Amino acid sequence: MKKHANHSQKKRLRFSQVMITKNEEANIERALSWGKEIFDEQIVVDTGSTDRTVEIAKRLGARVVFFAWINDFAAAKNYAIEQATGDWICILDADEYFTEDQAKRIPDLIRMADESGNEILETYVVNLDGQNGIINKHLGLRIIKNEKELRYHGAIHEELGRSDGRSANVFCLIEKLCFMHTGYAEEIYRKKQESNRNYLLIKSRLDENPDDPNMWGYLGDDLFGRKKIEEAEAAYKKAIELYPEEIPAYSQRAKWTFTSILRVLCELSKEDELYDYYHAAKSVFPGEADFDFIVGRYCFFCSNYEQAVDHLTACIALLEADTHYDSGNYAAANLSSIYEALSFSYYYTEDSKEAIRYASVILNTNHDSIPGISVFMMCFKKLDGDREENAAYCLHALSKFENLSVLEDAVHMSLAAKRTAYAEMQKLLDEKIPEEIKEEMRQFRK
């Protein structure tokens, strides 16, 4: 493994990577490859794989040790930490990884943390779907100093903390470092759900302590993931009922429970309850943008465009005001859908200026957006005056984003004109799209 330079004759820090595994042959190679040049040792703690996980890990040079599964994630992770000999430890799961660019930053950032007396690195975790699209993001604590007091607790959804009761010194790097998590991709998540492992662990913890609101929240997550929407609703409501009057502002679990009950109530179209829980959520976490995102999107789909505008503009304002990057993790991963909903909502509330403004925001970041192009066309189509002149003005405005000499742009413009039934634009495009591009479009249609 790569040895790290001795900076200014200071002690060279050693870095360890540890992970617990079970049947991770699909992920283990990537999990051990991204940090190959960073870590002085890589340790895999296997909890009973029956596939090729162990074989692949050994082939890649990892030290493999075994831990008998006892239905306790904290116990397994603590055992993995105890195997490490490095000064700092990275403890990602097999379905989590840093990109090459991000991985290169880790050694220097660890040294900075070490020199400033910190013990944990705080990063973002970006959850990806099956097409590598972003589902959402949240905070993660996965790189830690190798100290015997730093350990996990909790059999499931384990949390990191110091066993001596002292608060750990956390080095916030969310603006500089993030890693990817593929475990919520639909097919992967479905297989995890079918195993019932998490569900049974959560239920056993609730049997021991039925008044644990966080565990009721986790149960809701599990049920929601299984599409058992009504059961998830009951679990989330139970969690909220059990929370104390003063919920700590830093409680990410409570915030996610409120976020989730709003999503469930939207899916069940329980509008009256939706607003009750929305106001309750805002009273506890007034700076959380996700609440307005969820309710605003629901209003948009219900054609309540004025309310959609109110909530979605509030969501954007909260995102822009968030200096700690701990709000709107769900909304931030869906910014394009917010701008699309706002552009259409403003159109339907007769505010063409704002509709075009938000359509421009969409096209500035994604010029392939047919919804963004469509809003432009819809706004110009309904203008008074000469319709052909208006179409020409619209095409000129869209030329800032679209080039009719490029096949993809010509296709997107034609599709938008057809979807908006903009006859004058269709005629104009037929005149302006070069003949060679038209021929490519004909072949494309075939």
Report percent pLDDT > 70 for the chain: 95
- Residue 279 covered by a domain: no
Residue 347 to residues 12, 367, 419, 426, Cα–Cα distance (Å): 61, 19, 16, 21
**Residue 16, beta-bridge partner list:** 41, 89
**Domain presence at residue 439:** yes
Q: Is the pLDDT of residue 143 over 80?
A: yes
Is 113 domain-assigned? yes
79: tokens are 């055992």
Closest among 292, 207, 277 to 237, alpha carbons compared: 277
Residue 423, domain member (yes or no): yes
The DSSP bridge partners found for residue 181 are 96, 127
Residues 311-360: tens digit of each pLDDT: 999 999 999 998 766 788 889 888 999 999 999 999 999 999 999 999 99
The CB density around residue 230, as the number of other CB atoms within 10 Å, is 10
Average pLDDT score over the chain: 92
Stretch among 71-80, 132-141, 386-395, 408-417 having the lowest mean pLDDT: 132-141
Of 181, 211, 228, the residue that ends a domain is 181
Report yes or no on 288 lying in a domain.
no
In angstroms, the CA 283 to CA 19 distance is 39
Q: Is the pLDDT of residue 4 over 60?
A: no
Of 181, 197, 224, the residue that ends a domain is: 181
Query: Per the domain annotation, does 297 fall within a domain?
Result: no
Residue 91 lies in domain: 7-181
Of 155, 181, 207, the domain-final residue? 181
Q: Would you place residue 110 in the very low, low, confident or very high pLDDT band (cuts 50, 70, 90)? A: very high
The closest of 280, 287, 289 to 261, measured between CA atoms, is 280
Give me the helices (H) in 243-304, please. Answer: 252-267, 271-284, 289-301
Q: Is position 300 within any domain?
A: no
- For helices 305-321 and 289-301, angle between their N-to-C axes, nearest 10 degrees: 160
Does the residue 93 lie in any domain? yes
Tally of domains in the chain: 2
pTM of the model: 0.83
Q: Concatenate the DSSP letters of all residues of 402-420 into one string.
A: --TTSHHHHHHHHHHHHHT
CATH number of the domain that residue 157 is part of = 3.90.550.10
Q: Which class for 273: exposed (0-12), middle (13-18), buried (19 or more C-beta within 10 A)? A: middle
